Amino acid sequence: MAEIGKDIAQARYFLENGQLVGIPTETVYGLAGDALNPESVALIFETKNRPSFDPLILHTSSLERVEEFVSDFPENLKKLAHAFWPGPLTLLLPRKPIVPDLVTSGLERVAVRVPKHSLTLTLLESLDFPLAAPSANPFGYISPTAPAHVEAQLGDKIPYILDGGACEVGLESTIVGLEGEEAVIYRLGGLDISEIEKLIGPVNVKDHSSSNPAAPGQLESHYAPRKPFLLGDLEKLVSEKKREGVKFGVLSFAKHFPEIENQMTLSPEANLHEAAKNLFAAMRTLDQSQAEVILAELMPETGLGRAINDRLRRASVK
């Protein structure tokens, strides 16, 4: 099983020797390897059972270091980087040849970000290479937001998990790039669209694709529990499953249902930031419960609610 600890030197040793390490970020825990070493990158895909056409995000310690790996940095995207790095923002930028094809799935742009977590930033500053780090979970399953989640899923496949506590944001990063002069959001995430638009004006939000994604995290079915996950009007779903005699769990925004054993309320105060932080851990708890099916509802379509709803919809895809 993987060792869990706060030893940055230990994590660095494994990474420098081509192995993978679980790392904390403000969004979710990542499965990290040397992004410039194709063998380490291949090991990430193998360990996650991730399809090679789904590109990875490159993590480094500063905006200045990002420029070592990209051939162009348009001014409006650089404006976002100055405002939100370190933070839950990923930018799609033209890559230099130093970035292996496997990282980008052969695409000409690489996804890059500077994560906002003191342990991981210290680790990144100590390395001579950036880290490729998708979420540290089997492909398609619920993303991990605590070290124990990584250990439970990948502990027998990696030697070390850097313990940074629970993730502050709890949703993956927002991915932004350009198509011509137009700013495009390829994945909704932990950075609110309104914050982006305050700086660079209106953006186009892409629907996620089911194959050959242009950016990480665009596949249609993703972030899903193993149990059936039904999304709709909770009052109706609860009544229906009670009539059917099905053992169910409930994932709600703020409402508490009396006399239901397996339920998780994301934010009793109806706070979307709190709901985002709690989402994946709540889904995981219900997936490990005695419930046969999980019932859930959409959040308000404002602020981070849009990103939460994106995850909920993809979790419900059969």
pLDDT, tens digit, 9 for 90 and up, residues 186-197: 999 999 999 999
> What is the per-residue pLDDT across 249-292, written as a single tens digit (0 to 9) for each?
999 999 999 889 999 999 999 999 999 999 999 999 999 999 99
Q: State the pairing for strand pair 30-34/131-132.
A: antiparallel
H/E element, 304: none
Cβ-based burial of 63 (10 A; exposed 0-12, middle 13-18, buried ≥19) = middle
Q: Residue 53 has what pLDDT?
A: 80
Q: Map out the domains of the chain with their CATH numbers.
A: 3-205 (3.90.870.10), 229-316 (3.40.50.11030)
Q: Residue 50 has what pLDDT?
A: 87
pTM score of the predicted model: 0.92
Question: In 245-281, which positions are buried (b, 16+ CB within 10 angstroms) versus exposed (e)?
Answer: eeebbbbbbeeeeeebebbbbbbeeeebbbbbbbbbb
> What is the per-residue pLDDT across 136-190, written as a single tens digit (0 to 9) for each?
999 889 999 999 999 999 999 999 999 999 999 999 999 999 999 999 999 999 9
DSSP 189-255: -SS-HHHHHHHH---EEPPP-SSS-SSTT--SS-SB-SS-EEES-HHHHHHHHHHHT--EEEEESS-
CA–CA dist 243, 165 (Å, integer): 41
Main-chain phi, psi angles of 231, to 5 degrees: -115, 130
Q: Which of 18, 69, 72 is nearest to 47 (CA)?
A: 18
Query: Is 19 in a helix, a strand, or coil?
Result: coil
Contact 225, 294 (CB under 8 A): yes
